Amino acid sequence: MDEGALFPPDSDLDLSFTSCASTTATTRTFTSSSPRTSLTLSFNENRLSTTSTTTTTHEHRRPHRESDPHWSAIKAATNLSCDGTLHLRHLKLLRHLGTGNCGRVFLCRLRDNDHANFALKVVDRDSLTDKKLSHVQTEAQILSSLDHPFLPTLYAHIDVSHYTCLLIDYCPNGDLHSLLHKQPGYRLSVESVRFYAAEVLGALEYLHSLGVVYRDLKPENVLLREDGHIMLSDFDLCFKADVVPKLENRTHHHKVGSTKKRWRQRHRKPDEVVTEFTAEPTTAFSRSCVGTHEYLAPEVVTGNGHGNGVDWWAFGVLIYELLYGRTPFKGESKEATLRNIASTRGVRLHATERVEEEVGMAEAMDLIERLLVNDPRKRLGCVGGATEIKQHPFFNGIKWPLIRNYRPPLVARKGKAHVLVDEGEESHPWTI
C-alpha cells in the first residue's frame, strides 16, 4: 500500500501550535501549588534566521530497553515508511502536556498503533535565541546517549523545517511536585522520600558518570512512570565535562553530623577499608546562572563559578522539600530566597516538627545537613559522588542493584495516583 494513503505528508501538518515566541528569561513562581520554572540569565537576544532542513530520524536503541514494546511500535512504523525512517506524519498528537523554556510537549501515538504512548517535545528554532538554541542542541545530544531505567529514552530525533522534535517516554502519573501537593501537609512519609531519593540518586550517579552536570533538579522534573518509578526530565540546562573513572581504597569512618549526638553514637560503625568505584566530574566548571531559584547552590548565587556540587546541593533541597513541603531557604521574594541561600548561616532544619514522628527522620536530617554545606569542597558527594552518599545511614538496607525491582510507594488506581505506605514495618515498606 502506498505510504501516502496511510499518512499525510509533513508539508500538510499544521505546526503553528509549537511556536514559543517569548525570548525573555522565565521568572520564578512562588505559588505553592504551581510548578516552578527554571531561569536562564545573560543570554544573547539575537534571532535565528529561518532555515529549512530535511526530516531526519535517529533511533537510539539501548540494551536495557531492548525489550520495550515502544521500540517494537517504532520498528513497525518505520517498516511502513518508504525510506525506513520515522516522520512527523507517522505521529498523532493527542493533547498538550506542558510548556517549558524552549518548547512544548505533547502526548502522541503512532498512527498505526493505539497502545504505545509517547511524549513529543517540539521546539520552534526560529523563536529561540542563540543561547536557548544551544540548550536544545545540548538536550538532544545528552538524550541520545542515555541508557538508564530512571532516565528518558530518545526514540527519535526529527528535524523538519524550523522545528526540532524529540520523541521520548511518556509518564502518565505526573511528577513529584503535583504528587506532593496532593498529600496532607504537602509532604511525604520518610519511607516514600527514601525511595524517590534513592532513585534520583541513581539517575544523578549515571549522569555524572557521563560527565553531565544536571543543574535543574526539582520535584517538577522528577516524573513518575506508569509503574511508579521515576524518570528525570528536562536536560536543556545541563553541561558536560571530562570525567575520569577511579577505583581506589577508602577508609570509611561512618561519621555522621551533629543533629542528634546520642543517635550518632548509637549508630556509629567500626571503620573499614573498602574498594570503591567513582566516576564524578570533579573538574566541571561553569559560570552560567541557570536553574530554579529555590534550588540554586550558594556558588551559583554568588557568581563564583560552580561544578558538580550544584547537583548534590539540589539533592539535599529536594529531600528537604519532600519531607517538609517547602524548601529550606524560601523567602518572601526571589531576592530574599537568594540572600538566604548565600548566607553563611547554613540550613535551617525544622527539627521539632517531625524528628520524633517517624523512624529515619534523624538520619534524613543528618543527610540534608551534609548535602547543604555552603563550601562545595566540603559538601557530601562533591568528591566521592553518589558512592559516598549511598553509604549514608539514611539509605541503609537498600539493595542498590535491585532498586528498579522495588515496588514503588506510588500506584495508580482508577486513574488517580496514591501514595501507599505499609504500616507496621520499621524499615523499607516497598518490596521486590
CATH number at residue 221: 1.10.510.10
* CB 92, CB 111: distance < 8 Å: yes
Residue 432 lies inside a defined structural domain of this protein: no
pLDDT at 175: 95
Residue 76 banded pLDDT, cuts 50, 70, 90? confident
Angle 108-113-118 from CA coordinates, rounded to 5°:
30
310-365 pLDDT, tens per residue? Answer: 999 999 999 999 999 999 999 999 999 999 999 866 666 655 455 556 789 999 99
Q: Are residues 92 and 186 both part of a single domain?
A: no
Q: Are residues 72 and 123 both part of a single domain?
A: yes
pLDDT at 34: 58
Task: Indicate which residue of 124, 159, 175, 216 is catalytic.
Answer: 216
Residue 29 predicted with pLDDT over 90 = no
Q: Are residues 189 and 317 both part of a single domain?
A: yes
Instruction: Name 278's bridge partners.
Output: 246
193-244 pLDDT, tens per residue? Answer: 999 999 999 999 999 999 999 999 999 999 999 999 999 999 999 999 999 9
Q: Are residues 111 and 180 both part of a single domain?
A: no
Query: What phi and psi values does residue 205 have, to the nearest 5 degrees?
Result: -60, -45
Rg value, the chain, Cα: 22
pLDDT at 100: 84
Q: Are residues 234 and 148 both part of a single domain?
A: no
Q: Are residues 129 and 183 both part of a single domain?
A: no
Kindly report the CATH number assigned to the domain that includes residue 134.
3.30.200.20
Residue 428 lies inside a defined structural domain of this protein: no
Residue 113 banded pLDDT, cuts 50, 70, 90? confident
- Between 74-78, 171-175, 184-188, the lowest mean confidence (pLDDT) is in 74-78
363-388 pLDDT, tens per residue? Answer: 999 999 999 999 999 999 999 999 99
Residue 153 predicted with pLDDT over 50 = yes
236 is catalytic: no
- Residues spanned by the domain of 211: 176-419
pLDDT at 359: 87
Share the mean pLDDT of the chain: 80
Residue 427 lies inside a defined structural domain of this protein: no
Residue 424 lies inside a defined structural domain of this protein: no
Q: Are residues 158 and 183 both part of a single domain?
A: no
Q: Are residues 25 and 129 both part of a single domain?
A: yes
Number of domains in the chain: 2
Average pLDDT over residues 27-32: 36
Torsion of CA 211, 212, 217, 223, to 10 degrees: -110
Share above pLDDT 90 across residues of the chain, in percent, rounded to a whole number: 57
Grid coordinates standing for 94? 493527542
pLDDT at 30: 32
Q: Are residues 224 and 337 both part of a single domain?
A: yes
Grid coordinates standing for 22? 517569548
pLDDT at 53: 37
Grid coordinates standing for 359? 523512624
Angle 129-135-141 from CA coordinates, rounded to 5°:
140
Which of 169, 194, 223 terminates a domain? The answer is 169
Q: Are residues 112 and 201 both part of a single domain?
A: no
Residue 151 lies inside a defined structural domain of this protein: yes
Q: Are residues 158 and 132 both part of a single domain?
A: yes
Residue 211 lies inside a defined structural domain of this protein: yes
Q: Give the CA distances from residue 287 to residues 75, 306, 376, in Å, rounded to whole numbers and listed in that order.
A: 42, 6, 15
Average pLDDT over residues 136-160: 94
Residue 164 predicted with pLDDT over 80 = yes
Residue 48 predicted with pLDDT over 50 = no
pLDDT at 58: 42
Residue 31 predicted with pLDDT over 80 = no
Residue 50 predicted with pLDDT over 50 = no
Residue 120 lies inside a defined structural domain of this protein: yes
Comparing 212 with 265, which gets the higher pLDDT? Answer: 212
Which of 105, 139, 169 terminates a domain? The answer is 169
Q: Are residues 163 and 180 both part of a single domain?
A: no
Residue 365 lies inside a defined structural domain of this protein: yes
Which of 130, 150, 169 terminates a domain? The answer is 169
